Amino acid sequence: MSGFKNFILRGNLIELAVAFIMATAFAAVVLAMVDVLMDLIGKAGGQPDFSNWEPAGVSIGALLTALISFLILSAVVYFFIVKPYTVAKEKYFPGEQEGTPADVALLEEIRDLLQARNV
């Protein structure tokens, strides 16, 4: 029973479950955004769904619809999730400054002091 309790209360399992629930809920938002953008493209081009389009008898409409949906989905994810996340992460959790790490700088200082003693 102790092993099961440890498994259930493991932090990673809870975080994974929350991430899965949030991703499922957010998927609906992203898909709705794609639908809105596809409707806007349809209003500009006259046909929001290209699935029935068959130029010269070749049914490439479904591929074209899937390709446009993929590009819109990628743009929505990048500009509304990845980009703001990256900016916020850099703002609130800045990375280590460029240059020599502190431990290397200390070792270089020790080396310089030892060389100065021997000269």
Residue 29 counted as domain residue: yes
Task: Summarize the confidence of residues 32-40 as an average pLDDT.
Answer: 80
Residue 46 counted as domain residue: yes
Residue 42 counted as domain residue: yes
User: Considering all CA atoms of the chain, what is the largest pairwise distance in Å, rounded to the nearest integer?
Assistant: 87
Single out the residue of 73, 74, 75, 53 nearest to residue 62, CA to CA: 53
Q: What is the CATH classification number for the domain harbouring 80?
A: 1.10.1200.120
Rounded Cα distance, 77 and 86, in Å? 12
pTM of the model: 0.50
Q: What percent of the chain has pLDDT over 70?
A: 87
Residue 102 counted as domain residue: no
Q: Which pLDDT score is estimated for 113?
A: 93
For the chain, the domain total comes to: 1
Task: Summarize the confidence of residues 48-54 as an average pLDDT.
Answer: 72
Residue that has been written with the tokens 């008898």 in this structure: 57
Residue 97 counted as domain residue: no
Q: For the segment 88-109, what is each residue's pLDDT rounded down to a tens digit?
A: 888 888 776 677 788 888 999 9
Task: Summarize the confidence of residues 24-43 as an average pLDDT.
Answer: 81
The domain in which residue 81 lies consists of 2-91
| Other residues' Cβ atoms within 10 Å of the Cβ of residue 50 | 20
Which string of b and e fits 53-67 if b means at least 16 CB within 10 Å?
eeeeeeeebeeebee
